[in-house]
């Protein structure tokens, strides 16, 4: 919602002052713009903010990277925000864990908006994981720990602890 967009604005170094509204039952965020009806939709606004901050590389540089970023933004809205059962969460963690096996960031070798918004979207999930679950989804844990240390990302969100001593090492 708007709080997350505020976090994103700060991370991007934007001066703030954007005005947000909410539309409809599902409280879809709307950004009031100077000329026109306003931008609707979380991901649309997020991408717009990135361009406002002139940090287009966060949307990917190559065509393939851009596509992957869009894929994860869509995933965030449809699967992470949309689903909320324990099974949904397990599926998401499994998907992510597989995807991150050979990548440092969601889009491969570069840090993008996909990493930022998946981090914010999953923070509440990661906070509640047990030690065993964090080890089970080892790639997710590695990626999450990396992103939360990226300058400007975490802000006031709590630091999720990942223990270095790996105990249940038979899961690979």
Q: What angle do CA 73, 75, 79 make, to 5 degrees?
A: 140
Closer to another protein by Cβ: residue 54 or 164: 164
Report the candidate in 86, 75, 69, 99 with the shortest Cα–Cα distance to residue 130. Answer: 86
Residue with tokens 């609707």: 40
Query: From the centroid of its chain, how far is CA 103?
Result: 16
CB 56 within 8 A of CB 65: no
CB 72 within 8 A of CB 118: yes
User: Looking at 77, 104, 125, 157, which residue binds another protein (CB under 8 A)?
Assistant: 104
Q: Which of the ranges 19-27, 56-64, 78-86, 141-149 carries the binding residues for another protein, by CB under 8 A?
A: 141-149
User: Looking at 34, 84, 130, 170, which residue binds another protein (CB under 8 A)?
Assistant: 130
Residue 103 in the binding site for another protein (CB under 8 A): yes
Q: Which of the ranges 24-32, 37-45, 58-66, 155-163 carries the binding residues for another protein, by CB under 8 A?
A: 155-163
Residue 166 in the binding site for another protein (CB under 8 A): yes
Residue 19 in the binding site for another protein (CB under 8 A): no
Number of residues that bind another protein (CB under 8 A): 22
């Amino acid at each position: 919602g708007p709080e997350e967009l505020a976090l994103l604005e700060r991370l991007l170094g934007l001066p703030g002052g954007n005005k947000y509204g909410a539309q409809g039952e599902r409280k879809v965020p709307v950004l009031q713009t100077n000329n026109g009806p306003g931008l609707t939709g979380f991901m649309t606004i997020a991408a717009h903010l990135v361009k406002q901050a002139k940090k287009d590389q966060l949307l990917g540089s190559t065509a393939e990277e851009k596509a992957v970023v869009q894929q994860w933004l869509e995933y965030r809205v449809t699967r992470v925000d949309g689903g909320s059962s324990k099974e949904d969460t397990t599926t998401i963690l499994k998907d992510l864990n597989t995807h991150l096996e050979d990548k440092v960031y969601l889009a491969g070798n570069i840090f993008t908006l996909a990493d930022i918004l998946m981090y914010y979207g999953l923070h509440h999930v990661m906070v509640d994981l047990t030690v065993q679950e964090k080890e089970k989804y080892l790639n997710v844990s590695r990626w999450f720990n990396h992103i939360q240390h990226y300058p400007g990302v975490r802000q006031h969100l709590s630091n999720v602890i990942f223990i270095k001593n790996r105990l249940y090492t038979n899961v690979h």
